[in-house]
């Protein structure tokens, strides 16, 4: 009897050790939750995520890319990840507000989370890292560029937002900060730091960001629909205010939307636009927009006709690769970031003078 009990104890201990070892070995998977690879900035981030995860798998690292087109799908994925019990770390690009529940569930399950690009803001302190392009500098850089092209309080200004999430909140904050004199812009390519040449009052900044503003859902169509409805009024207002129009577009796609509307506008509106000085921004790094600025694109002539100057802040979706590399570092135990840390990818201005120097991503 004693021998039987002893044998049972040995077997139980052996099973416990095996189970523990199997569990520890199993919890080594890196999950990456990002957008479905398609077209545009967000989708290109998904393409880079898929590419990097395939490279890691080929080299023996257990990395799984889970593409989605909605936050609800990301929540479903997280429920699966928690049930699997094998996650070492999860990288998530929050696609919309509904996906914040996914981050919350991961944190509750004590699974380390790296937030990339768009964050669940309330959960930033619980993520092991919050990594994105420097969106505040994007906004500050555009404000500096528009101001260098003559923008002053009271001018006609159009603001095209991508969405209501953390990315555009920071881009608006940088714009506000620069014009109020609280934030300087440092260009990563030139190393030059710019301070506002004129401090704006809060009422002037509010007017700039709200008189003609719309959330475009990161699409050319969203921007085009707004501009089609408001174009005649905007052009007339710009003429009345001194003949200048400034367009603060927060994305390359939306800048194309404005260009498309001007290209198809009535002869009367086109003549009104030609009589103005129009300056337009963008953010992203889409090669198609670089080609417009450098004169290689068929739409370059249209842009030259209507825009006195244009630019795009370099913000390449390839930074998704770095987000995944951070996860690899964490999985290997190479980690010195405190909980809730933020890391920002530097940005710089690309315009007609230097567009040929940079390789963008293919957005269409």
Q: Domain of 102?
A: 26-127
Identify whether residues 143 and 265 lie together within a single domain: yes
pLDDT in tens, 39-67: 788 889 999 999 999 999 999 999 999 99
The whole-number average pLDDT for the span 6-14 is 40
With cut-offs at 50, 70 and 90, classify the pLDDT of residue 8.
Answer: very low
Residue 322 lies in a domain: no
The span from the CA of 233 to the CA of 221, in Å, is 19
Q: Is the pLDDT of residue 150 over 90?
A: yes
| End-to-end CA, the chain | 75
| Domain end marker among 98, 127, 156 | 127
pLDDT in tens, 202-257: 999 999 999 999 999 999 999 999 999 999 999 999 999 999 999 999 999 999 99
Closest Cα to residue 228, out of 191, 251, 185, 258? Answer: 258
Identify whether residues 289 and 150 lie together within a single domain: yes
Per-residue pLDDT, 43: 87
| Domain end marker among 96, 127, 158 | 127
Identify whether residues 103 and 214 lie together within a single domain: no
Contact 36, 46 (CB under 8 A): yes
Q: At what angle do helices 135-148 and 166-179 cross, to 10 degrees?
A: 40
pTM, two decimals, is 0.89
Decide: helix, strand or coil at residue 344.
Answer: strand
| Domain end marker among 127, 150, 172 | 127
Identify whether residues 139 and 217 lie together within a single domain: yes
The span from the CA of 260 to the CA of 7, in Å, is 79
Residue 1 contacts by C-beta under 8 Å, 6 or more apart in sequence? none
Per-residue pLDDT, 364: 63
Joined tokens for residue 186: 């440092």
Looking at the structure of the chain, the number of domains it has is 2
Residue 253 contacts by C-beta under 8 Å, 6 or more apart in sequence? 40, 41, 218, 219, 220, 223, 284, 286, 363
The span from the CA of 151 to the CA of 278, in Å, is 10
The span from the CA of 148 to the CA of 26, in Å, is 56
Identify whether residues 115 and 142 lie together within a single domain: no
Per-residue pLDDT, 27: 75
The span from the CA of 304 to the CA of 273, in Å, is 12
């Amino acid at each position: 009897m004693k021998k039987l009990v002893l044998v049972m104890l040995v077997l139980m201990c052996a099973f416990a050790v095996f189970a523990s070892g199997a569990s520890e070995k199993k919890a080594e998977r890196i999950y990456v939750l990002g957008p479905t690879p398609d077209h545009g900035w967000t989708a290109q981030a998904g393409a880079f995520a898929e590419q990097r995860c395939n490279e890691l798998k080929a080299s023996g690292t257990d990395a799984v890319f889970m593409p989605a087109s909605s936050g609800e799908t990301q929540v479903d994925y997280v429920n699966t990840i928690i049930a699997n019990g094998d996650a070492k770390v999860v990288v998530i690009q929050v696609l919309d507000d509904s996906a914040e529940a996914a981050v919350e569930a991961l944190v509750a399950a004590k699974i380390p989370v790296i937030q990339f690009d768009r964050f669940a803001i309330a959960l930033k302190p619980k993520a092991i890292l919050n990594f994105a392009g420097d969106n505040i500098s994007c906004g500050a850089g555009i404000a500096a560029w528009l101001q260098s092209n003559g923008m002053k309080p009271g001018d006609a200004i159009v603001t095209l937002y991508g969405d209501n999430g953390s990315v555009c909140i920071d881009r608006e904050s940088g714009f506000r900060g620069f014009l109020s004199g609280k934030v300087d812009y440092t260009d990563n390519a030139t190393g030059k730091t710019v301070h506002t040449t004129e401090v704006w009052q809060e009422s002037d900044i509010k007017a700039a960001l709200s008189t003609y503003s719309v959330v475009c859902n990161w699409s050319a169509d969203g921007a085009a629909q707004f501009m089609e409805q408001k174009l005649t009024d905007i052009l007339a207002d710009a003429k009345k205010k001194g003949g200048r129009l400034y367009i603060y577009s927060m994305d390359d796609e939306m800048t194309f939307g404005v260009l498309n509307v001007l290209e198809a506008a009535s002869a009367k509106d086109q003549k009104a636009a030609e009589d103005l000085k129009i300056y337009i921004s963008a953010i992203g790094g889409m090669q198609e927009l670089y080609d417009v600025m450098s004169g290689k694109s068929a739409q370059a002539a249209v842009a030259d006709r209507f825009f006195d100057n244009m630019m795009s802040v370099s913000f390449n979706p390839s930074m998704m690769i770095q987000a995944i590399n951070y996860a690899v570092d964490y999985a290997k135990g190479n980690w010195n970031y405190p909980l809730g840390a933020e890391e920002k990818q530097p940005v710089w201005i690309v315009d007609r003078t230097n567009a040929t120097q940079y390789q963008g991503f293919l957005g269409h």
